[in-house]
Amino acid sequence: MPSYTTHNLRTVALVGQGAAGKTTLTEALLLKAGAIAAQGAVERGTTVSDFDSMEKEYRHSLRASLVHLDKNGTRIHLVDTPGFPDFIGQAIGALDAVETAAVVVNAQLGVEMVTSRMMQWAGARKLCRIVIVNKIDAENVDLPAILKNIQETFGKECLPINLPADGGKRVVDCFFNPAGEADFLSVAEAHRALVDQVVEVDEALMALYLEQGEIRPEQLHEPFEKALREGHLIPVCFTSARNGAGVAELLDVLDKLLPNPAEGNPPLFYKGEGDAKEEFHSIPDAGRHVLAHVFKVVMDPFVGKLGIFRVHQGTVTRNTQLYVGDGRKPFKTGHLFLLQGKDYTEVDRLVPGDIGAVAKVEEVEFDCVLHDSHDEDHIHMRPLEFPMPMYGLAIESKKRGDEQRVSDVMRKLMAEDPTFRVDHDVVLNETVIRGLSDLHMRSILERMAQQYKLEVNTRPPRIPFRETIVTKAEGHSRHKKQTGGAGQFGEVYLRIEPLARGAGFEFVDQVKGGVIPSQYIPAVEKGINQVLTTGAISGYPIEDVRVIVYDGKHHPVDSKEVAFVSAGRKAFLDAIGKAHPIVLEPIVKIEILCPDANTGDITGDISSKRGQITGTRVLQNRVAAIDGLVPLSELNGYQSRLKSFTGGQGSYSMELSHYEPVPPHLQQQLVNDYQATRKHEEE
């Protein structure tokens, strides 16, 4: 095995819209570099990077996969990421592992929504970027228009570094070549545009260039890297992953022109917490302390928990003792792996820029830092911004007694996927799994069934309604029980008042003269609290009420805690009955992104669902953003509605805005449902 130094490593994530051809391109690159003997196909489920049985079934990538290939003594680590918005978490996570984001654009469709978002995310992380226009062989592609579309969307820094020739059967390099024949544009002009753009980042070179009128591309390596780092240049390449056009040239770009780990922008870490935290930059030097970052966790059925990490500093060997985050106890790496799709090969060492894995280390989790000295304690990678999982499903184990297994499996699935969350609602006694979409949740349930042989029942999660009151009212209850020996006695008078929305609950003790002895006041409050959590009319918690207990009676022998709990509860219920109780529902702030042609359908639908549109904006590239306020209860199944309006191009996110009274017919229905379940329980 040749040994690589950081200098001859490249790290690249292939990102962009689903079906742009990232996985097929990975395959074509592996073939061209001699890493595989024949090119597999997504359709046949034979690619190196879509190896998971569900990826084969869905025919698109669900997770980031890692491959590596060698070219002229350069080792290239590639991360093939999923492009469907439903699985985008894995693509975002991969940005922390690489110097360069290669944004793949489908030549048939141009810049799409995920393309734009990944371009922005990669820019925000200060990654070097290139654009790859793939599928140049396909029918009806208008490549000059696609290039224009890319430049209009992402800026004039997007310059072709090669151009299609011979009707798209091959491509011709424009950087090292000062002239040549292309299908459109002139190679000489493209060459000049690249050189002009690159020399702009170096004043001395600029002066030389102006003086000589020409400069050799070989002299441009340093400024080329600087231009990439500063986002002053975003090279555009053309490929057909299907027939191989442009693949060798792309491999050349990866090898000769993309930054090695010392040439990219160093990733941003923070040392310390809160206000005291300071920026920290790793140095890609193999001789320093180890600093590595886990950007992906896999629960492999055979190997166990696998932490996949990028080395940012120092050298990891089989004998390295590594600390996980701020943990005090180190683990010994033992076996170190390099990944090629589903295959793991053992290696002796990994240097800065390498991507590798350790197995069976329980403490390792997504986003943790591995290091070999306490000098690097309290270091964290700058946090990534993941979309907030808002699509919920309530789940219940199918078999009784499986509850613990369900929660164990959920924990494993959460470890692998930063956009998957499990919430347990204590009030509703409901476990809700949340993710980015219906498809995302279905894939999680399928993985539970396939990998863990565990099935659950699902239903839409209950909406967290609340109850409150509209007017002031008085309540009274006397609890008296005389059964043989000692009796029970307690009597309570109270008043209730509505509070401002969001104020919660207040308890006021205005009892005078010890008519309710002070040791029984907590009992009264306990009785009231029982009603607060279970609700009075619809079974949902009560909010925004003040309760003032001002009078009562006790008995020197028969007064007991239970008597005052019961009197407090019943007096409160008595008052609520007279205070015009109402049900409140959560209203969410929603932001919908969609092609602007669909705006009318979507706003019309929102209005018909008791929603209110608060604004619409047109973002770049004919993408519209619609803001609105909508009752959460109207958004059940919204993902599939939006999908049907936009042909899968739309996405939405939401967060809680406030609570509002539900309309009378809905309140009636909620009250009736509650009465029916209570009657059922009593029977």
Ligand X SMILES: Nc1nc2c(ncn2[C@@H]2O[C@H](COP(=O)(O)OP(=O)(O)OP(=O)(O)O)[C@@H](O)[C@H]2O)c(=O)[nH]1
Binding site for ligand X (CB under 6 A): 18-24, 41-43, 60-61, 82-84, 134-135, 137-138, 240-242
Rounded Cα distance, 91 and 474, in Å: 59
* Nearest residue (CB) to Mg ion, 135 versus 495: 135
Rounded to a whole number of angstroms, the minimum distance from the CB of residue 132 to ligand X is 10
Rounded to a whole number of angstroms, the minimum distance from the CB of residue 43 to Mg ion is 12
Rounded to a whole number of angstroms, the minimum distance from the CB of residue 107 to ligand X is 8
Rounded to a whole number of angstroms, the minimum distance from the CB of residue 56 to Mg ion is 11
* Number of residues lying near Mg ion (CB under 5 A): 3
Tell me the pairing of strands 158-160 and 234-238: parallel
Rounded to a whole number of angstroms, the minimum distance from the CB of residue 60 to Mg ion is 5
Rounded Cα distance, 621 and 112, in Å: 8
Q: Pick from 85, 147, 136: which is nearest to 115 by CA?
A: 85
Using CB under 5 A, which of the segments 21-29, 31-39, 260-268, 277-285 binds Mg ion? 21-29
List C-alpha distances in Å: 139 to 103, 109, 168, 244, 513: 22, 12, 11, 16, 91
Rounded to a whole number of angstroms, the minimum distance from the CB of residue 675 to Mg ion is 52
197 binds, among Mg ion, ligand X, none (CB under 5 to 8 A by kind): none
φ, ψ at 56 (rounded to 5°): -65, -40
* Under 8 Å between Cβ of 352 and 97: no
333 binds, among ligand X, Mg ion, none (CB under 5 to 8 A by kind): none
* Nearest residue (CB) to Mg ion, 61 versus 116: 61
Rounded to a whole number of angstroms, the minimum distance from the CB of residue 306 to ligand X is 21
Secondary structure class of 282 (helix, strand, coil): coil
256 binds, among Mg ion, ligand X, none (CB under 5 to 8 A by kind): none
Rounded to a whole number of angstroms, the minimum distance from the CB of residue 446 to ligand X is 16
Q: Pick from 656, 599, 594: which is nearest to 629 by CA?
A: 656
308 binds, among ligand X, Mg ion, none (CB under 5 to 8 A by kind): none
Q: Pick from 104, 101, 99, 119: which is nearest to 7 by CA?
A: 99
Order of all β-strands in the sheet with 488-498: 473-481, 488-498, 545-553, 505-509
Using CB under 5 A, which of the segments 54-62, 95-103, 407-415, 551-559 binds Mg ion? 54-62
Q: Pick from 385, 434, 437: which is nearest to 86 by CA?
A: 437
Percentages helix, strand, coil for the chain (3-state, rounded to 5) are 35, 30, 35
* Nearest residue (CB) to ligand X, 49 versus 488: 49
* Nearest residue (CB) to ligand X, 118 versus 358: 118
Each as own residue / partner, the long-range contacts of residues 436-439 (CB below 8 Å, 24 or more positions apart, any chain) are: 436/85, 436/86, 436/87, 436/88, 436/89, 436/387, 436/389, 436/390, 436/391, 437/85, 437/86, 437/391, 437/639, 438/391, 438/637, 438/639, 438/640, 439/84, 439/86, 439/639
110 binds, among Mg ion, ligand X, none (CB under 5 to 8 A by kind): none
Rounded to a whole number of angstroms, the minimum distance from the CB of residue 388 to Mg ion is 24
Q: Which amino acid is at 641?
A: R
Rounded Cα distance, 50 and 47, in Å: 6
DSSP string for residues in 499-558: --TT--EEEEE---TTSS-GGGHHHHHHHHHHHHHH-SSSSS-B-SEEEEEEEEE--TTT
**Residue length of the chain:** 683
437 binds, among ligand X, Mg ion, none (CB under 5 to 8 A by kind): none
134 binds, among ligand X, Mg ion, none (CB under 5 to 8 A by kind): ligand X
* Nearest residue (CB) to ligand X, 43 versus 396: 43
**Is residue 81 at the binding interface for Mg ion, with CB under 5 A as the rule?**
no
Rounded to a whole number of angstroms, the minimum distance from the CB of residue 40 to Mg ion is 12
Burial state string for 344-355 with b = 16 or more CB within 10 A and e = fewer than 16: beebebbbbbbb
416 binds, among Mg ion, ligand X, none (CB under 5 to 8 A by kind): none
Rounded to a whole number of angstroms, the minimum distance from the CB of residue 124 to ligand X is 21
Using CB under 5 A, which of the segments 20-28, 304-312, 322-330, 622-630 binds Mg ion? 20-28
Considering only 6, 17, 23, 633, the residue that binds Mg ion (CB under 5 A) is 23
Rounded to a whole number of angstroms, the minimum distance from the CB of residue 26 to Mg ion is 8
Q: Pick from 13, 99, 65: which is nearest to 357 by CA?
A: 65
242 binds, among Mg ion, ligand X, none (CB under 5 to 8 A by kind): ligand X
* Nearest residue (CB) to ligand X, 419 versus 538: 419
Using CB under 5 A, which of the segments 29-37, 61-69, 163-171, 321-329 binds Mg ion? 61-69
**Is residue 61 at the binding interface for Mg ion, with CB under 5 A as the rule?**
yes
Measured on CA atoms in the order 430, 432, 438, 442, is the torsion positive or negative? negative
Rounded Cα distance, 490 and 470, in Å: 28
Rounded to a whole number of angstroms, the minimum distance from the CB of residue 646 to ligand X is 17
φ, ψ at 668 (rounded to 5°): -60, -40
* Nearest residue (CB) to ligand X, 24 versus 340: 24
241 binds, among Mg ion, ligand X, none (CB under 5 to 8 A by kind): ligand X
**Residues whose CB is less than 8 angstroms from the CB of residue 5 and which lie 6 or more positions away in sequence, other chains included:** 286, 351
* Nearest residue (CB) to ligand X, 42 versus 414: 42
* Nearest residue (CB) to Mg ion, 24 versus 313: 24
Query: Token pair 């050349």 is at which residue?
Result: 252
Rounded Cα distance, 412 and 601, in Å: 40
Using CB under 5 A, which of the segments 55-63, 94-102, 540-548, 560-568 binds Mg ion? 55-63
* Nearest residue (CB) to Mg ion, 61 versus 488: 61
**Is residue 26 at the binding interface for Mg ion, with CB under 5 A as the rule?**
no
**H helix and E strand count, the chain:** 16, 35
Tokens of 288: 């320093």
Rounded to a whole number of angstroms, the minimum distance from the CB of residue 393 to Mg ion is 26
3-state per-residue secondary structure call for 313-368: ECCEECCCEEEECCCCCCEECCCEEEEECCEEEEECEECCCCEEEEECCCCCCCCC
Rounded to a whole number of angstroms, the minimum distance from the CB of residue 80 to Mg ion is 6
Residue 257 DSSP code: I
138 binds, among ligand X, Mg ion, none (CB under 5 to 8 A by kind): ligand X
Rounded to a whole number of angstroms, the minimum distance from the CB of residue 411 to ligand X is 27
H helix runs in 155-276, sequence order? 187-199, 203-212, 221-229, 247-252
84 binds, among Mg ion, ligand X, none (CB under 5 to 8 A by kind): ligand X
**Residues whose CB is less than 8 angstroms from the CB of residue 171 and which lie 6 or more positions away in sequence, other chains included:** 136, 162, 163, 164, 165, 237, 238, 239, 245, 246, 249
* Nearest residue (CB) to Mg ion, 79 versus 576: 79
Q: Which residues bind Mg ion (CB under 5 A)?
A: 22-23, 61
